[in-house]
Each structure stands twice: as C-alpha cells, then as structure tokens.
Amino acid sequence: RDEERLPADLLAALDRLRGEAAGRRIVMFLPTFKDGQADAYYRFTPEQVERLGAWLERNNAVLAVREHMADRAHTYSQMLAPLAPINMSSRRYPDLEVLYRAADVLISDYSSCLVDFLMTGKPVISFAYDYDAYSHKERGLFYDLEKVLPGPVCRTFDELADALERSFAEPSAEEREAYEWKRRIFFDHLDDGAARRVVERVKALYGRE
C-alpha cells in the first residue's frame, strides 16, 4: 500500500532503517538457517570481504545483514564486520516485510524471502554456494531456482560479485518480461488486499456476505 498509509510502527522502522543507510542503497543479505550453523555457512575470505567493500563504496551502497532468528553462530555478522553492515536482526527490526520496501537488492540462498521480495519488483540474487548439498542432503528445494527465480543463482563468489556488478543496471525489456512472468508463478495479486480476500473467502464458505 502507499507508504503514508502504513501503520505508525512500520513507518518508524522504515524511517530508522533509512536513517542508518544515510542515503546509500541498501543491499539486504538474508541467509537461511543451516543445520551445521558455523560449519555450514560460506566462509568469506578477507580478500572477498575487501572486494565487497570496494563494490559497496563504488555504488554508494551499504550491506544490511539479517541472520536467521534460530542462528546462534552469527558467522556472517562476524565475517562481514569490516563492512560495517546494518544490523537488521529481528530484535531491532521485528517486521521483515517493511525491510523489503527499503532494500534495493536482496541476496539470499534458498530462503522463502526470495519469493516474498519478488513483490517489490527489485533485483534478487541467490548465493547458492552449496546448492547440491542443500538440495539433496539438507532440506531440499520446492522449485528449481534457476527456472523460477528472475535473478542469478550463483554457485561461486565470483558469480556473486558479477551479479552484484549488474544488479543496479537498468533491466532490458526481455529481463522485465521474464521477471513479470516468473513473479506470476507465485502471485495473483500485487496489492494490499490479501487479508480482505481471505475474510471474503471464509465468509463465502458459510454463505455469508
């Protein structure tokens, strides 16, 4: 819905996040929970962290990290600390949905937030460094990401870095069409009327207007 119609608490959270970003683009990193926690997460090298920092600076962007609420290792927060990322933990920002509005691009791996974020029409990137292990040994996947995600599925850091380099470019007509087509796989509506439709459907089941 229009921003001015958001509840006061969501508006306050949105303003706070934008204040922390200080005019920079927000690159939101939302990794999913892994059973192995620290042993299962990607290990960014110091050189890779430096490369990410240089890209953020060139693009007037800031990284914002939200680790899964069940995660206890906080591995990514520690590894990426040199980038001074915004802490988007659930304690600081309990409502994830409002963060989607502020973010300019989303990086995740297999989280359902990749689907939710499609409603914004903004770039999504899957950093699927352990794709084979996750899809066959851990939780498995409901969809083939490369077929349903309107963004790159990166298996290596170099692929992730390349995807980031292209993330702020104006999409072509073909890319916009592909995004819309894949978004329709998951969403019939892109408005704020979902709760109303649920109520109407339930009432209809009981023959009530």
Alpha carbon distance 206, 209 (integer Å): 9
**Predicted confidence (pLDDT) at residue 138 exceeds the cutoff of 60:** no
Q: Structure pTM?
A: 0.87
Query: Which is nearest to 42 in space by CA: 34, 52, 51, 50?
Result: 34
pLDDT attached to residue 144: 75
According to DSSP, the residues that pair with 25 across neighbouring strands are: 61
pLDDT attached to residue 137: 63
Q: Are 66 and 13 in contact (CB under 8 A)?
A: no
In the chain, % of residues over pLDDT 90: 62
User: Of 11-20, 134-143, 194-203, which gets the smallest average pLDDT?
Assistant: 134-143
Exposed, middle or buried by CB within 10 Å (0-12, 13-18, 19+), for 86? buried
Higher pLDDT: 1 or 165? It is 165
Mean pLDDT of 3-14: 93
What digits encode the pLDDT tens for the residues 44-101? 999 999 999 999 999 999 999 998 766 767 788 889 999 999 999 999 999 998 899 9
